[in-house]
Copies of this chain bind each other. A is one copy, B any other.
Amino acid sequence: MKNLSESDVKKALPSVDLKAALKSALMGLSDGTSKQPNKTIVELQNDKGDCMFFTGVVESLGCFGVKASPYLVEKSAKGENPVTAYTMLVSSETGLPTVMCDATYLTVARTAETTGLAVDLLLNASSAKKVAVIGSGQAALAHLEVQLRDRKWEKVSVFSPSLAASEEKVEAFKRLGHNALEIASSAEDAVSNADLVMLCTSANSPVVNSAALKVGCLVTSISTDAKDAHEIDPKSLQQMDVYCDYRETVALKAGEMSLAKAEIDWSYDSIVADLPELLSQSATVETKKTRFWRSTGLAIEDIAAAFAIAEA
């Protein structure tokens, strides 16, 4: 069994085509070779935290897998990252464990690459000039890095409430190397006229006024798995074409959708397509309308990512 630390992961990542690995695992959801049940969650008493278990199988890689991801409130209090994650792969040929991988940073990377895949499928790339990022943590950096790698952008605008005051954070964005990087003074300024808006926060309230979005833009959202977590006004779903990573599991995870269902009678049936449907070209994308794509994070992505790192 390969035991991979976070530094192993960071060392291997540059030589791995993570997006291709994710694409292949996601396409397996269309033909039944990948399977993705809902997550399981166990909670500690007295609101001390929880552990989520994400399970799945990717037959094209010959792997079952589970990612265990604890969230521990006490670590927050100590100023540590409260979330860790470990992925265990078990061979579907031998029944033996093959990989144990620290997935704490890898989850950030695979989330950014999955959003990158969604952007490839949903962006009106021919006219896209400006990308906006809301958020300034690891997820925001990783998302922007993927976009700067994948296509040319004339303008890049980033906003978070803590960004402008943090030289360290600004430097991290500058190191990505775009010559027209703007640190915006508000979320609305950042998204103004942007063709792609990537919401990269763990918020549970809207991080941008939907009225400030350019009509016809693509908005991506990661938020978190926490109950009712959301980054846009749930009511704004009514005016957008809504997409997601995986239709079968989105209901348990996407807060803006569950809130929209409760508040404005929005329906999950109105989701235009998920990634497996887009990848198998069973859905067409109308780029004149504003599109909202929600990432919820799938175990099959964790399996594909850990497998790719172990191979590298």
Contacts and interface: CB of A to CB of B under 8 A. Distances in A.
Query: How many copies of this kind of chain does the complex include?
Result: 2
A3 B51 CA distance: 21
A171 interface: no
Nearest to A91: B70
Given A84-B96, A88-B86, A96-B84, A42 B32 contact: no
A175 B91 CA distance: 36
A25 to B, nearest CB: 13
Contact of A66 (B44, B56, B66): B66
A206 interface: no
Interface residues of A, number: 42
A84 B95 contact: yes
Nearest to A41: B37
A214 interface: no
A49 B38 CA distance: 19
A72 interface: yes
B95 A83 contact: yes
A4 to B, nearest CB: 12
A45 interface: yes
Given A51-B90, A66-B88, 20 more contacts: A32-B45, A35-B42, A37-B42, A42-B55, A42-B64, A44-B57, A44-B92, A51-B57, A53-B55, A66-B66, A66-B68, A72-B93, A72-B95, A74-B93, A75-B94, A82-B95, A83-B95, A84-B95, A86-B88, A86-B90
18 contacts: A32-B45, A35-B42, A35-B43, A37-B41, A40-B40, A44-B59, A45-B59, A48-B92, A53-B53, A53-B66, A68-B97, A70-B95, A72-B95, A82-B95, A86-B88, A86-B97, A88-B88, A100-B100
Interface of A: 1, 3, 32-33, 35, 37-38, 40-45, 48-49, 51, 53, 55-57, 59, 64, 66, 68, 70, 72, 74-75, 82-84, 86, 88, 90-97, 100
